[in-house]
Amino acid sequence: MKKQSLYSRQSIKRISDYPDVLTVEEASELLGVCTKTVYKMLKKGEIKKQTIGRLIRIPRENIISYLGIDIRK
């Protein structure tokens, strides 16, 4: 049985408006949580990140997979 996403096509459009690589602030805005929560999620490994020196960047695909959205429809 295919997993159904709770997110509508409008949500997918909104996600596509963001750049391919997000900052913690952009990810928190997209997820609707504070930056502290995003840092906790990153620390727990719930969302995969990439670090460049001291900078944290989150690929948009990682957010999409965390949310369980299938965009290949």
Average pLDDT value for residue range 25-49: 95
What pLDDT does residue 2 have?
57
Asked whether the predicted pLDDT for residue 23 surpasses 80, the reply is yes
- Find the length of the chain: 73
For the full predicted model, state whether its pTM sits above 0.85. Answer: no
Residue linked to tokens 């596509």: 16
Measured CA to CA in angstroms, residue 23 lies from 5, 13, 48, 52, 70 at distances of 24, 19, 13, 12, 22
Asked whether the predicted pLDDT for residue 7 surpasses 90, the reply is no
Average pLDDT value for residue range 54-65: 95
Average pLDDT value for residue range 32-42: 96
